[in-house]
Amino acid sequence: MTTELELHSEERFREIVELMPAAVYVCDMNGSIQQFNRKAVELWGREPYADEDVRFCGAIQHLRLDGSIIPRDELPIAETIRNGKPVRNQELLIERADGSRVVVMINVAPLRNAEGVLVGAINCFLDVTDRHQAEERLRQSERRLAEAQQVAHIGSWERDLRTNQVIWSDELYRLFGVREHEIDLSYEQFLNRLVPEEVDRARKLVTEAIRERRPFSVDYRIIRADGSIRVLHDRGSVILNEQGAPIRLVGTCQDVTERREAEQELQRQKVILQTIFDNIPVMISFVDASSRVQMVNRHWERVLGWSLEDAQSRDLLLEAYPDPADRARVIEYTLHPTPEWTDFKVRVHDGRTLDTIWSLIVLPDGTRIGLGQDITERKRAEDALQQSEERLFLAIHAADLGIFENDHQTNILYWSPMLRAILGWGAQEAASLEVYFRLTHPADRDRIVAAVYQALGPMSDGQYRVEHRVVRPDGGIRWISVWSRTSFEGGGDARRPLRTVGIVAEITERKQAEQTLRRGDDRIRSIIDAIPVMAWSVQLDGIIDFLNQRWTDYAGLSLEQYLEEPTRPIHPEDIPRVFEKWRAQMAAGEGYEDEMRLRRHDGQYRWFLVRTEPLRDEQGDIVKWYGVSTDIDDRKRAEQAVKQSQQLLHTVLTTLPVGVLVTNREADVILGNPAYKQIWGDIIILGRERRAQSKGFWHDSGKRIDSESWASARALSQGQTSLNELIDIETFDGRQKTIQNSAAPIRNSEGSIIGAVVVNEDVSERVSAESALRKSERILREAEKLGHTGSWEHDLVTGEIFNTEENLRLFFGDNRSKRARFEDYVDAIHPDDRPIVQGRHAQLLAEGGPRDIEFRVVWPDGSVHILFGRATVVRDDTGRATRIYGTNVDITERKQAEQALQNLSRRLLAVQEEERRHLARELHDEVGQLLTGLRLLLKPIGNYPTEVGQSKLEQAQAIVDKLLEKVRGLSFDLRPAALDQLGLIPALLELVDNYTRQTGVLVSFKHKNAENRFAPEVETTAYRIVQEALTNVARHAGVGGVTVRVWATPDLLSVQIEDRGRGFDPEGVLATSRSSGVAGMRERVTLLDGQLTIDSRPGDGTQITAELPLGRSTKEEKP
């Protein structure tokens, strides 16, 4: 059968076995090696033809894993040849020709011929030394892990995803405060130990991690068996099987309660700061040492009109201070800042110029905090603003970036302090491209040099973005990420780089994290890496015999280096204290715990908590010391940050010009700044008592504010943010003030209210000024109303029109719908006057024409009013008109009075002329004729005989009598002497007498209490009215009788003329201006402020009554 084997398949068999990665050989029934492949020769380290015994195997010697020797006859293949049974996966050691040993795993199969008779055996074996060693290391690691965990209070766990069974390390039991037998180890049991509200979150997070097959890290609170609550930091990894399905979770737990508390306190401080920052009506900006604006608050943005992005991307200095002198002053102030408030005129985004005051605080790290107030518009308070946590984070993150700038023309390279810190390059040492290349890790150098020259080359788009390692002068290796952009001048071959600006971020931790992830398949490594502690052990003689990877990574020292100088990583200041304590504890055989600073590979010191525990044998003797160092730098930093933050808060609050008070949930005062104390009279009363004792009244209603209505109370109870409520207060020292009161709740990261910030601004002076202003405005308004004067202002820049109420009334009457637009005013102007007004307006703007104008306006109700306007143009320094200010007066009544006066005098003239014409006619026609006749009679009288002369004389005497009669009548018509000499009643009696004689109309004249004298104008008026009325009766009434009544009371003289004649329509008569008789009566009466009543209807008689006031007249008798 062997023959057959050889005959049929020997060649093919050879080919196959030569190709196999495993070592293969065949033995016959005697154990002599018949065939073998090259791999077998490699493992044996020789050809199996040596003189020595090579039965069953080509190796020099064979051992079991425990080191005992296996005789060749007892080798597995010898067994198989004896009993025909195969051997599977058996491991043993073989000693090779050069004496080295390897672990092999063997598989032996019997060889039979066609008849099934055993003819030999074949052995396949593999070198499994590496795996074997790894398993050995694992066992060691596990042991050390357990020891380390115990010392560092870190527990580890493992969860079988199929059974949900959980394995805990001893330390984890201790963390939960339970003994091993007290807890049923299942995942659900673990969840029961969590604070109930965190169960869902923890479960969800872990489920997601399993689904996505990624490591996770989570904080949760647990309830220990003794009821206390601790915060655990849990990191876990998912272990997959060969098919990539999750089968197990492994992880570690660390008690981070203290650190979290410190972090929370820091967070709380941040929230308080942020709340203040967002709510105070003060502009705040944070500018870092390199003059980059890190953060500005919303008030800053609102007042100045620029956003944070503007502040970061534009040169606002130039825009905000266009005047070079102002700008120089600002720069000078920035270089030598003072916390004193300093005035600056700022031109803001929309072009307005504001008066502002600024105070600059410089923090030890070079950050400048600018506090600013807009004193131009102090009245307006700021809305509460929300700055997102993310932006804060980004700003802080951004500050860790290094910056460089390369001016290619001068070859000056600038590296920012942060960049120098990243590269470990001293502040004073020169920076150059060569230095950059030199610092670049040798393995990356070629690539980087090529990339730099490519970015600066003529074909470049100017972008440069690389990630590479640098080797710092102190030997530390860092990963950095570099972004830069180069600007060029010229084109083609002549294209030359001008300037390169770039930023550098350190990404070492990210790279390490990436590498850690890459190693994630190794369960052991993942656990070890997951331990956030450095572990080590020391022999009794003080020689350190173990340092974990984290330790060597951290210190950047190998075990050998460390052994040379064990104190090297410890901060020199800490060494004496640490060693004294360490020796004392060692001598006492006790565990040891201390905090100290340990130097990192990059030279930076971080705080660690170092713990050691003795390891004892069964007799209780110490055989070794184990130690762990836990990085507590974050906690230390958090504590320091809390302190710094408190200090910052204090500095800001002390400087703020507004009162700020911070209370906790119970309304106890935690913090109050000096401005607050000043407002309330230097006394701050704590707790709820404060509100009960604070006397406040709503400014609008004057009602007392009860303790639950204060803005701070509402902030705490309802989470309400109140802004700028105007309140009158009585301070604790008894003064009256008006304040603007704002309050906002402070929330923790879960959103629940943990306190309130109250902001008070003393606005007493402003309010009293405003009240005075309102008063003066009211007086102006009343004055304008009384004087029918309105004023207006037209802002030519904004187009805004300001009008006093009275001016609106002048233009639109009581209609309130129109007033808003400039066109409304134009529309109101009488169409005929519009060109004049507009022409004058343009003229006024151009060169300042006449300031006065008269024009008509048509009210919405259609009535026309005449306005007298006067305007002034206000111009800026360049002569550009910015505003027009003007006043208007309604002169309609004056105009009408003027018109009436004109009408009156015109009629007066007409009447006068008529009287003269009448007199002239009388004198000429009557008197003149009579005198002429008289002359003719008398001239020749001496020539006549006596009797004829006598007759002529008698004729002449008759003519003279007629003349006398005529002149007397003329005189009476013109002005009855009786009126002046005797008074109203005698004059009227004479009038009535003459009237009856001339017209035949009988007059019934009645008078009462009117016999005394009255003021001449009153008597004249009464007389003329009676005269006119009687004339009308004779002309129009068509009656034979009329009644005249005259009577007086102490206040009034009344005359009344009544007839039963035809009557007339008074309205119609008055409407026709020709009837000057009635109109004349009315005018006379009006002149004396009297009242004329005409009661008449056609066919129903007429009754005219004139009532003349006697107020001003005296009843003196006039001669």
Partner 1 sequence: MTISIVLADDHPVLRRGIRTLFEAEPDFCVVGEAADGLEAIRLVERMKPDVLVLDLMMPGLSGLELLRIVPQRSPQTRVVVVSMHGNNAFIAEALKNGAIGYVLKGCAEEEIIKAVHEAAAGRRFLSPPVTQIALDAYIEQAKAGPFDPHETLTPREREVLQLAAEGKTGPEIAARLHISQRTVENHRANLMRKLALENQSELVRHALRHGLISLEE
- Minimum distance between the CB of residue 950 and partner 1, rounded to whole angstroms? 15
Q: Contact, 1053 vs 1025, CB < 8 A?
A: no
- DSSP 8-class letter at 570: B
Of 649 and 988, nearer to partner 1 (C-beta) is 988
**Dihedral angle, C-alpha 107, 113, 116, 122, nearest 10 °:** -10
Beta-carbon neighbour count of residue 570 at 10 Å? 19
- Minimum distance between the CB of residue 966 and partner 1, rounded to whole angstroms? 12
**Dihedral angle, C-alpha 470, 476, 481, 486, nearest 10 °:** -40
Length of the chain counted residue by residue: 1119
- Minimum distance between the CB of residue 1103 and partner 1, rounded to whole angstroms? 5
Of 134 and 977, nearer to partner 1 (C-beta) is 977
Of 28 and 1095, nearer to partner 1 (C-beta) is 1095
Of 273 and 1092, nearer to partner 1 (C-beta) is 1092
Q: Contact, 978 vs 992, CB < 8 A?
A: no
Of 29 and 960, nearer to partner 1 (C-beta) is 960
- Minimum distance between the CB of residue 942 and partner 1, rounded to whole angstroms? 20
Of 354 and 988, nearer to partner 1 (C-beta) is 988
Where do the H-state alpha helices sit in 575-662? 575-588, 633-655
Cα–Cα distance, 715 to 264 (Å, whole number): 22
Distances (CA, A) of 262 to 620, 632, 747, 753, 1042: 39, 11, 17, 19, 115
Of 481 and 994, nearer to partner 1 (C-beta) is 994
With CA atoms as reference, report the closest residue to 147 among 613, 676, 642. 613
- Minimum distance between the CB of residue 1062 and partner 1, rounded to whole angstroms? 16
Q: Which tokens sit at 63?
A: 């051992």
Q: Which tokens sit at 926?
A: 């009557």
Of 753 and 1092, nearer to partner 1 (C-beta) is 1092
Q: Contact, 835 vs 843, CB < 8 A?
A: no
- Minimum distance between the CB of residue 782 and partner 1, rounded to whole angstroms? 29
SS3 915: helix
Of 705 and 937, nearer to partner 1 (C-beta) is 937
With CA atoms as reference, report the closest residue to 709 among 699, 697, 701. 697
Distance of CA 623 to the CA centre of its chain: 65
Residue tagged 């930091």 (tokens): 233
Amino acid letter, 550:
R
Residue tagged 């949900």 (tokens): 164
Q: Which tokens sit at 705?
A: 């504010």
How big is the CA angle at 716 (ends 712 and 718), to the nearest 5 degrees? 110
Q: Contact, 994 vs 968, CB < 8 A?
A: no
Distances (CA, A) of 852 to 127, 416, 433, 795, 846: 116, 68, 77, 20, 16
- Minimum distance between the CB of residue 808 and partner 1, rounded to whole angstroms? 29
The site for partner 1 (CB under 8 A) is made up of 960-961, 964, 968, 977-978, 981-982, 985-987, 989-990, 993-994, 1005-1011, 1045, 1047, 1049, 1052, 1054, 1056, 1093, 1095, 1100, 1103, 1105, 1107, 1119
Of 535 and 987, nearer to partner 1 (C-beta) is 987
Distances (CA, A) of 1017 to 593, 901, 1010, 1026, 1082: 122, 18, 15, 14, 14
Of 825 and 1014, nearer to partner 1 (C-beta) is 1014
- Minimum distance between the CB of residue 986 and partner 1, rounded to whole angstroms? 4
Distances (CA, A) of 1077 to 905, 1026, 1033, 1081: 16, 11, 12, 6
Of 905 and 1012, nearer to partner 1 (C-beta) is 1012
Crossing angle of helices 946-974/892-921, nearest 10°? 170
Residue tagged 């208007």 (tokens): 888
SS3 427: coil
- Minimum distance between the CB of residue 953 and partner 1, rounded to whole angstroms? 13
SS3 35: strand
- Minimum distance between the CB of residue 1066 and partner 1, rounded to whole angstroms? 12
Cα–Cα distance, 730 to 747 (Å, whole number): 30
- Minimum distance between the CB of residue 785 and partner 1, rounded to whole angstroms? 26
- Minimum distance between the CB of residue 915 and partner 1, rounded to whole angstroms? 21
Of 389 and 1051, nearer to partner 1 (C-beta) is 1051
| Strand partners of residue 812 | none
Q: Contact, 676 vs 661, CB < 8 A?
A: yes
Cα–Cα distance, 877 to 892 (Å, whole number): 39
- Minimum distance between the CB of residue 1016 and partner 1, rounded to whole angstroms? 15
Of 768 and 957, nearer to partner 1 (C-beta) is 957
Q: Which tokens sit at 1082?
A: 């009315």
- Minimum distance between the CB of residue 968 and partner 1, rounded to whole angstroms? 7
Query: Which run of H or E residues covers position 524?
Result: helix 523-530
Of 141 and 994, nearer to partner 1 (C-beta) is 994
- Minimum distance between the CB of residue 1019 and partner 1, rounded to whole angstroms? 14
Cα–Cα distance, 812 to 529 (Å, whole number): 85
Of 35 and 1056, nearer to partner 1 (C-beta) is 1056
Cα–Cα distance, 1041 to 524 (Å, whole number): 143
- Minimum distance between the CB of residue 1010 and partner 1, rounded to whole angstroms? 8
